[in-house]
Structure 1
């Protein structure tokens, strides 16, 4: 499968390039980044010690058109532009970008009516297993448990709570037959009063080079159940993205997530 990677000079882009170059089935055909990127015009695998003959380019259209599948972990506005190019050229897309508003999510769903798309808040196989565990835990721990979601990321992350934390909240709320918007609490300050029964609280840390920590706490009387995932590097996201790209091979259109890719429905 011919893979194009956008944001090639960034930290996630470099992990995606490394994973693709070491993959036995995928072939890197395009490494794309914006004008002024430090690696523009250089071999995409040079900094990894894996020279591959693919030069980093700013020609987004040509880079995407050469591929079977684009992998995109950039920012919402850029991802939506890239998705339109994918649609024009019939190229599949794996979207790991987070922070989309409702209009952006609708645009992704619309594009998926013409091309195959995997769109997920977290591409890690481990995190997606955690989503399944949260569904089970929530259905069992139905009475007397307060639910809190904690997440921590590096200081350069621009959205909060993380897409993964929000998806955790959605999984929990859906297991309870509710909508997250009706029960989420995103901030506490001052004299807040007692905790609102049935609410789902979020706590956020931003600092240093934390790749990504997520914990859901079910706090009961006399016990606490915690389900935690900690990422030590970005490689799990890259490996999951390639698994998603392989899942899309041969599909004509449709919107999927990692639960589909991993057959966890």
Structure 2
């Protein structure tokens, strides 16, 4: 499987280079950066710190669509629409891990999925996707009486808050309980407030140091509480999941797929 990366010079882009190099079922054949980037011409292996490889970074405007079968995008929302349009124009399947997308960008993603196959997930860790299934089960059993809070922690450089994964956890719980997350989410508390509304879902965010990613869903009832937690210690976890999704996309029909589809978690929902 010939795979390309948008934003190869980014934090996740570099880890994706490493993940593709260690994967026997795929090969990195295209690595793009901004057309005006100083990274144009840089060898991808040297960029990722794993030794020289037979691919160098090219500007998006010079990308050779014929060299790839699928593209992976973990860039920023500012670059997302151009990357999506490139894949649609060239009929290339796409794995998307960009978070913090606007409603308009999500609408564009859904429209693109009518023309090309897309895997879109807030988190490509297998463990996190198992967690999404587990919190639905917990919500089904405890959600009518327990108070629900979601906490997440990431490195100091992460720009969106709460994280896309935290929102995905909240959405899974809200869906199971028949609630509208936009209506029931609480993203901050300060000062004196009325007693907690049982039907709300709270979010708390921590940013600091080099924390890769930690998420906890808390179901707190009178007399007991359940916590479902996932902790990532390496970005390779996410990159390996994205590469797995890229390989899974081969020969798929146009449509919007999730990591649940990729790893077959339907029976856990």
TM-score by length of 1: 0.96
**Equivalent residue runs for 1:223-234 within 5 Å:** 223-234=224-235
Deviation at 1:217, TM superposition (A): 0.6
Q: Gaps (5+ residues) in structure 1?
A: none
Is residue 6 of structure 1 aligned with residue 9 of structure 2?
no
Question: CA 1:200 to 1:12, structure 2 compared with 1: closer, same or farther past 3 Å?
Answer: same
**Residue of structure 1 in register with 2:121 after alignment:** 120
- Residue pair 1:7, 1:73 contacting (<8 A) in 2 also: yes
**Residue of structure 2 in register with 1:137 after alignment:** 138
Deviation at 1:113, TM superposition (A): 0.6
Deviation at 1:60, TM superposition (A): 4.3
**Equivalent residue runs for 1:187-226 within 5 Å:** 187-226=188-227
TM-score by length of 2: 0.94
Moved more, 38-47 or 190-199: 38-47
Question: CA 1:111 to 1:63, structure 2 compared with 1: closer, same or farther past 3 Å?
Answer: same
- Residue pair 2:20, 2:243 contacting (<8 A) in 1 also: yes
Deviation at 1:40, TM superposition (A): 2.9
Deviation at 1:216, TM superposition (A): 0.6
**Equivalent residue runs for 1:35-54 within 5 Å:** 35=35, 37=37, 39-46=39-46, 47-54=48-55
RMSD between aligned alpha carbons? 1.4
- Residue pair 1:4, 1:64 contacting (<8 A) in 2 also: no
Distance in 2 separating the partners of 1:143 and 1:78? 41
4+ residue segments displaced more than 6 Å: none
**Residue of structure 2 in register with 1:251 after alignment:** 252
Moved more, 116-125 or 30-39: 30-39
For residue 5 of structure 2, give the secondary structure of its aligned residue in structure 1: strand
Question: CA 1:197 to 1:37, structure 2 compared with 1: closer, same or farther past 3 Å?
Answer: same
User: How many correspondences in the alignment?
Assistant: 265
Distance in 1 separating the partners of 2:166 and 2:38? 32
